[in-house]
Amino acid sequence: MTSTDATAAGPGRAGVWNLPNILTMIRIALVPFFVWFLIADAPGLESESGPWRWAAVVAFAVAIYTDKLDGDIARSRNLVTDFGKIADPIADKLLTGSALVMLSVLGELPWWMTLVILVREWGITGLRFFVIRYGVIPASRGGKLKTVVQTAAIFLYLLPLAAFAPWLAWVAFAVMLAAVVITVWTGVDYVVEAMRLRAKGKLQAKAGNGQEQA
């Protein structure tokens, strides 16, 4: 961190350019490579089980690991920033969103599942920006559970093992169905939290205006 960053961060606050945020940006940079690996494995947009598919699996696993790593580092070293609170979920949504869309394009995942998850994910992201003037909505426990289940479902779908273990497709579908349910449930929870945050912010603004007039 430069002296300018340190000054801007202020006492007890972390600057934007710290290790967790850099890991988040690396995760974002991995997304196009992940998508390219999936496309390279399926030149006719029909899923295959070649080396590029395994490369996509590895890229996804590495990206997910950076997600866990940046969170652990941010909390243990007190490097949590508002930028990280916003950029981290966006990075997650770019990764999972690209995976879901590509799996649907390849005909492996029903489009309705992809659309339900994407509408919820980007809708909540937009909601976060809408209420950011009143405060930042942190990730809830339900949101973390949603991320874990979504990740597990996508990973199962990505594994090119269906030819060797046909039952894996049913397991992947069941886990993805659970992910859809949890995704919708947590989405409703975030909407309620956003409404509370907005109402609280308006009350504080009114109280501040009243004190100024007094």
Domain assignments of the chain as residue spans, ordered by start: 3-213
Higher-pLDDT residue of 74, 29: 29
What percent of the chain clears pLDDT 70, i.e. is strictly above it? 82
pLDDT, residue 9, reads: 42
**DSSP secondary structure code for residue 15 in this structure:** -
Q: What is the pLDDT of residues 171-211, one digit of tens each?
A: 999 999 999 999 999 989 888 888 887 777 777 666 666 55
Q: Which CATH number fits domain 3-213: 1.20.870.10, 3.30.365.10, 1.20.120.1760, 1.10.3720.10?
A: 1.20.120.1760
